Every structure is written in C-alpha cells, then in structure tokens.
C-alpha cells in the first residue's frame, strides 16, 4: 500500500507543501503520496488515534498543532523539548510516533545562504538579531540563532510571552537573549518578522503599516527576513513580498522572503522521512513555479 504523508494543519487554504513533495516523490520514484489533513484542534486526538490504521507514515505539522501534538508522540528530540514545538512527525512502528523540529534548521539555512551570497561570510556569532513575535516559529528561530552564537532581542505584542522565551532560553545558551518592548526602535544586524501580522491585517494601507516597517528603523539592518509568504493573503502586493520586504528593498537592505525557510525545513523533513537527501532543486523549482503561477 502507498505510504501516506501529509500536512496536518487548520485551516488549510493554499498550502505550497504538496507541490514540493509531489515533485520530490516523483523524481525519487517513491511509492508515497502527500495529502492535506485539515484537522481542527478538537479533532486532533481522533486523527492521531486513526493515523496508524490509515497508514500515515509522516506528517508536516503546522498551526495550530505544533505544540498540541506533542502529547501524542512517544518520542521527541531535545530540540523539540527546548523549543516546545514540533513540525515533523515520523511513524516509528509499534503504534508510536517520533517528533522532530526542522523549522529551526530551515531558518538557519535560509539565513546562512543569504549571508553567503551577500558577502561569502556565514558566521552568525555575535550578530544582533531583532526577532518580532514569540510564538512557535519565533522560538524555533531564536533557538537556531542562539545556538549559532547570535544575540537575540525579542519583541512581542504580549510581553509576558517574550519574557518567558528569554527566561526559557537564557540558561541554555551563552549568547544573550532579552525581551524588548514591542514598539521600541532598538535595531541590530538582522530583523526577522515571525508574527502573523499580515494574516491578521488583510488589506492594510500604506499609512497603517506597523512600526517595524519604519524606514529609519529598517535602514540600520544588514538583512531583513519575513517568514510570511503569500498563502492566500490578499494584501500582498507581490506574490512573495510582504510590505516589510518591499520597504527593506526600497532601503537597499538585503532580504529573505518566507518561502526560503519553507523550502529548507521541507528538505530537512524529507531526510528524516526517507533517510536520504532530498532533491532540493526539484523541490525549489516546483515551489517557485507554483508561486509564480498562482493568483490568489
């Protein structure tokens, strides 16, 4: 029987994962199928109970299940336990599942790749990172950057969450992590938006842009990254570029668009599922073709 893989999320509107995996499975000649499992939070327990009998072998886990799925997993990696979220699940036989986190690896790869292109230097040690948001994605990215020796300033609308994140990570790493005020204009080397601001502010006009699109603030950074990409948001003026990315580009600041992290976390996920390297170029081309041809 074909092995079933898929994206577990809710709601799922315009996921880009199936095109990447369909292309990868085909070129690798794998007897596997990638689906979308749109499961609301209250259905998660039932879904996990049926997963083995339904031949589900691997899951890409997205919002809102990244933390909630952990109690259903027999094993997790140390990364998952530190971050508090998983985005990759593998069936390990005997009715047991294993949870990993490839988000942090994907983010790190995207940042290093950009720096390498920019100046040939990929060492992030002692870089100052301003991280917007304190949800699961932010925690994964902070984990990656602290591990690489960068110092992180977290700004979150709800300060208790950024404070908790700073406390959770402070003891784990030598690099510093601090919670900063949400709208403070303290800058650094790398700015990363992990908030769902664009999703929650559809149709926002130029004069309603948030503080982090302030031009003087942006100008101070070497690199600006936004993990959002157009997955159906009707306020994106460009298929890939959020208003933050466009503003940074206008200021001649190097940028990283959201599909880069999406690609690299998927490439890492593939390795765990199949124990062999992913066909990166095939996945990249499939993703870019889908983005270029989609009019949301």
Query: Which of 28, 36, 63, 246 lies at the binding interface for ligand ATR (CB under 6 A)?
Result: 63
Shortest distance (Å) from residue 69 CB to ligand ATR: 13
Q: Which sign, positive or negative, has the C-alpha torsion 45, 47, 53, 56?
A: negative
Instruction: Tell how many helices (H) and how many strands (E) occur in the chain.
Output: 11, 12
* Range in contact with ligand ATR (rule: CB under 6 A) among 11-19, 20-28, 152-160, 184-192: 152-160
Q: Which two tokens stand for residue 131?
A: 């991280």
* Range in contact with ligand ATR (rule: CB under 6 A) among 43-51, 73-81, 188-196, 249-257: 188-196
212: left (phi > 0), else alpha (psi -120 to 50), else beta?
Answer: alpha
Q: Does 106 bind ligand ATR (CB under 6 A)?
A: no
Q: Does 240 bind ligand ATR (CB under 6 A)?
A: no
- Coil/strand/helix, residue 73: coil
- Which DSSP category does 162 fall into? H
Nearer to ligand ATR, 131 or 150 (CB): 131
Shortest distance (Å) from residue 37 CB to ligand ATR: 18
Contact 152, 175 (CB under 8 A): yes
Query: 3 an active-site residue?
Result: no
Contact 235, 201 (CB under 8 A): yes
Q: Which residues of the chain form beta strands (DSSP E)?
A: 3-9, 32-38, 56-61, 75-76, 88-91, 97-100, 128-132, 151-155, 177-180, 190-193, 223-226, 254-256
Nearer to ligand ATR, 32 or 179 (CB): 179
Shortest distance (Å) from residue 32 CB to ligand ATR: 27
Q: Which of 66, 109, 127, 284 is catalytic?
A: 66
Q: Which of residues 23-42 bind ligand ATR (CB under 6 A)?
A: none
Count of chain residues binding ligand ATR (CB under 6 A):
18
Nearer to ligand ATR, 57 or 156 (CB): 156
Q: What is the DSSP string of 194-226?
A: -S-HHHHSTT--GGG--GGG-HHHHHT-SEEEE
Shortest distance (Å) from residue 140 CB to ligand ATR: 8
Q: Does 235 bind ligand ATR (CB under 6 A)?
A: no
Beta strand 190-193 pairing with 254-256: unpaired
* Range in contact with ligand ATR (rule: CB under 6 A) among 74-82, 155-163, 212-220, 271-279: 155-163
Which positions ≥6 away from 104 have C-beta within 8 Å? 79, 83, 140, 141, 143, 144, 147
Nearer to ligand ATR, 27 or 163 (CB): 163
Query: Which of 24, 80, 107, 134 lies at the binding interface for ligand ATR (CB under 6 A)?
Result: 134
Known catalytic residues are 66
Binding site for ligand ATR (CB under 6 A): 63, 66, 133-138, 156-158, 161, 194-197, 200-201
């Amino acid at each position: 029987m074909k092995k079933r893989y898929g994206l577990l999320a809710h709601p799922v509107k315009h996921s880009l994962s199936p095109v990447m995996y369909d292309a990868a499975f085909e070129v690798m000649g794998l007897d596997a199928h990638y689906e979308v499992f749109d499961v609301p939070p209250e259905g998660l327990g039932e879904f996990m109970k049926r997963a083995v009998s339904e031949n589900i072998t691997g899951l890409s886990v997205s919002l809102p299940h990244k933390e909630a799925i952990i109690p259903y997993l027999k094993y997790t990696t140390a990364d998952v336990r530190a971050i508090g979220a998983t985005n990759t699940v593998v069936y390990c036989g005997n009715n047991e599942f294993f949870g990993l986190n490839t988000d942090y690896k994907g983010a790190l790869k995207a940042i290093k790749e950009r720096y390498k292109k920019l100046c040939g230097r990929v060492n992030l040690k002692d870089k100052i990172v301003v991280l917007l948001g304190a949800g699961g994605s932010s925690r994964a990215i902070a984990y990656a950057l602290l591990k690489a020796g960068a110092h992180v300033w977290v700004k979150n609308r709800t300060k208790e969450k950024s404070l908790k994140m700073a406390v959770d990570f402070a003891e784990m790493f030598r690099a510093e992590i601090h919670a900063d005020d949400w709208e403070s204009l303290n800058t650094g080397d790398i700015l990363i938006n992990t908030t769902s601001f664009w999703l929650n502010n559809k149709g926002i006009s130029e004069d309603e842009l948030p503080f982090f699109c302030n031009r003087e603030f942006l100008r101070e950074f070497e690199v600006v990254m936004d993990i959002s990409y157009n997955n159906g948001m009707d306020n994106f003026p460009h298929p890939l570029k959020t208003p933050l990315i466009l503003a940074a580009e206008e200021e001649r600041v190097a940028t990283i668009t959201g599909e880069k992290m999406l690609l690299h976390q998927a490439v890492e996920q593939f390795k765990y599922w199949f124990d062999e390297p992913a066909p990166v170029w095939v996945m990249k081309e499939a993703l870019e073709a889908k983005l270029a041809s989609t009019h949301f």
